[in-house]
Amino acid sequence: MKITSYEALCNLGNDINSIYEKALNGDTTIFKNIDGVLKESNIRAGVISCPLPKIDETDFNIRCNQAILKTLNLLDKEIEILKEKYIPDRIGVVVATTNSGVEEFEKTNNPKYYELGNPARFIRKTLGIKNFCTTVSTACSSGIKAFSLARDLLNNNISDAVIVACCDTLAKVPIYGFHSLEVLSQKPTIPFSKDRAGMNMGEACTVFITEKEADKGIEVMGIGESSDIYHLTTPDPEAKEAVIAIKKALSDAKITPDEIDYINAHGTGTIANDIMEANAIYSIFNNKTPVSSTKSYTGHCLGAAAGIETALCCKLLDDFRGKFYPNINADNIDPEISQINLVKKDDKYKKCKICMCNSFGFGGTNAILILGKNNG
């Protein structure tokens, strides 16, 4: 399976190119302080700031779908070529989200808004395609799980192409949930740092065109999935199942750990996640492979987190400039966690042919994606 086209939208910019420029430079400034949600504090969040198109059909007119439509419009030409290449019955849709329109439901009581399948049906109807259509919602691992399902559709000859979209927009329900867990920070999130105080929320949308048979594109080399039974919201600090997921992805890709050039970490900036993930990475890669979390720039985008991070990995593979995304405060890594190789802002690298993207969600859902491209 190859990713033949992709686009993105988040607080950093209105397309993948502008997002890439800011992320590569380690820009952590594009956040808003939102008041009126929590009584005692503001919320620091990465918010999509560009105008979003209104959707005429009321049942689909939610912010999540508006962001999807804006991102689809960035891929107008590529989608038209896709529809000419394949008949509508052979193009599928898989969406990753956790919120859908729960925020709009709170205001209107329209039950269509909180249905997780709403964004997938919207894409199917908007593009006039008629193949398999569904939504994946497995907390923060949803984006990679969506790629896993898309690959199954292609490999089992159910689809010739699958549009994978990952989208979540800000909503009070998850904000209240994370606040109750005491993992939100009003300060910039600094994953793996000894001074880390929690995560910032974010919203994002990505759209990927995936095809089974394509001459060019970024190859989905490997996917690894596993599940914990450790705790509903706290990851296993020993990272047993996370390690299994990484090993499965490497085996699926038929590569060794030394062949991974860069790891985009889940890196939420919370105490528990960073301990677990550093242990998982170190147990397989030691401190050799460059690692960073881009959530310092985008915030944690929930069901769209893996989507925006996958898009950032794709852009690295397409436009490598001798450096990876810096991990903010990399010089101040927590001495109590495994000492992984965090990327610093001025670090230079010679190649980027294979990237790994980590996602770990509540309920112990673990997903790893390995992407590759021959850059010569």
pLDDT of residue 262 exceeding 90: yes
pLDDT of residue 231 exceeding 80: no
Residue 205 among the catalytic residues: no
Q: Tell me the HSE value of 129 on the side-chain side, using a 13 A CA sphere.
A: 28
3-state secondary structure of 96: strand
Q: How far apart are CA 190 and CA 200, in angstroms?
A: 10
Per-residue pLDDT at 32: 96
Q: How far apart are CA 369 and CA 54, in angstroms?
A: 33
Catalytic annotation, pick one of 266, 313, 352, 357? 266
**Res. 40 pLDDT band, cuts 50 70 90:** confident
Q: How far apart are CA 279 and CA 302, in angstroms?
A: 22
Residue 140 among the catalytic residues: yes
DSSP 117: T
Per-residue pLDDT at 376: 43
pLDDT of residue 184 exceeding 60: yes
pLDDT of residue 232 exceeding 80: no
Q: How far apart are CA 369 and CA 150, in angstroms?
A: 13
The rounded mean pLDDT for the chain is 95
* Mutual angle of helices 142-155 and 305-318, in 10-degree steps: 70
pLDDT of residue 10 exceeding 70: yes
**Of 218, 125, 195, 146, the residue nearest 367 (C-alpha):** 146
Q: Which fold would CATH assign to domain 218-372?
A: Peroxisomal Thiolase; Chain A, domain 1 (3.40.47)
DSSP 260: -
Q: What is the mean pLDDT of residues 145-168?
A: 98
Q: How far apart are CA 159 and CA 339, in angstroms?
A: 43
Percent of the chain predicted with pLDDT > 90: 92
Residue 231 among the catalytic residues: no
**Of 230, 225, 250, the residue nearest 367 (C-alpha):** 225
pLDDT single digits (tens) 263-310: 999 999 999 999 999 999 999 999 999 999 999 999 999 999 999 999
pLDDT single digits (tens) 73-114: 999 999 999 999 999 999 999 999 999 999 999 999 999 999
Give me the architecture of the 2-211 domain, per CATH.
3-Layer(aba) Sandwich (3.40)
Per-residue pLDDT at 39: 83
Q: Which helix (H) or strand (E) holds 168?
A: strand 161-168
Per-residue pLDDT at 204: 98
Q: Which helix (H) or strand (E) holds 314?
A: helix 305-318
pLDDT of residue 374 exceeding 90: no
pLDDT of residue 23 exceeding 90: yes
Catalytic annotation, pick one of 179, 300, 313, 357? 300
Per-residue pLDDT at 233: 78
pLDDT single digits (tens) 203-226: 999 999 999 989 899 999 999 999
Per-domain residue ranges of the chain = 2-211, 218-372
Exposed / middle / buried, residue 72 (Cβ in 10 Å: 0-12, 13-18, 19+): buried
CB atoms inside a 10 Å sphere around CB 37: 16
**Of 214, 216, 155, 185, the residue nearest 328 (C-alpha):** 185
Q: What is the mean pLDDT of residues 55-80?
A: 97
Q: How far apart are CA 75 and CA 56, in angstroms?
A: 21
CB 257 within 8 A of CB 370: no
Q: How far apart are CA 162 and CA 125, in angstroms?
A: 15
Q: How far is CA 98 from CA 2, 148, 217, 234, 370, in A?
A: 25, 17, 28, 18, 23
Q: Do domains 2-211 and 218-372 have the same CATH topology?
A: yes
Angle, alpha carbons 78-303-255 (nearest 5°): 75
Q: How far apart are CA 326 and CA 237, in angstroms?
A: 25
Q: How far apart are CA 197 and CA 360, in angstroms?
A: 19
Q: What is the mean pLDDT of residues 155-171?
A: 97
Catalytic annotation, pick one of 133, 140, 167, 357? 140
Give me the DSSP letters along 54-76: --SSGGG-SHHHHHHHHHHHHTH
